[in-house]
Amino acid sequence: MRIGELSKRTGVSPRSLRYYEEQGLLTSSRSGAGQRHYSDAEVQRVSLIRQLFDAGLSSQMIATVLPCVDIPDDLGVAEETFTAMMRRRDRIDADIAHLIETRDALDLLIEANSKHREKLSHASRL
């Protein structure tokens, strides 16, 4: 099938499909005129890629995970994928910790501002 049909069947824009291919997430064959042609199996693959993007994975992480789908019985691939996913999770945990610290600092500023506004409001009534 051509890119337009794959787009219609998956609900993913042709531009996104080309991006997936550029990132090595999706493959196609080319016609003599250079048009992309996809197998029926690519419909499921695009659905999986969308699910992985929706789960917050980057295209780089998806490229790391997809070999587990392509070669499910390879322990080495499974171990590499596990390690990459754990590194990604650790980075997310660090980002969360930083955001919590930032929010806590902002809460202190909000509290100080609230007290200052209270003083100004009280002073303006005198």
Query: What is the residue whose two structure tokens read 């090595």?
Result: 24
Lowest mean pLDDT among 41-50, 61-70, 106-115: 61-70
Structural domain boundaries in the chain:
1-70, 72-126
Percent of the chain with pLDDT over 90: 75
Claim: this prediction has a pTM higher than 0.85: no
Query: What is the residue whose two structure tokens read 């999986």?
Result: 48
Task: Give the whole-angstrom CA distance, residue 115 versus residue 69.
Answer: 57
pLDDT by residue (tens digit) across 75-88?
A: 999 999 899 889 98
**Vertex 22, ends 19 and 25: CA angle to 5°?**
85
Of the options 3.40.50.2020, 1.10.1660.10, 3.60.15.10, 2.30.30.60, the CATH number for the domain spanning 1-70: 1.10.1660.10
Query: What is the residue whose two structure tokens read 């699910």?
Result: 51
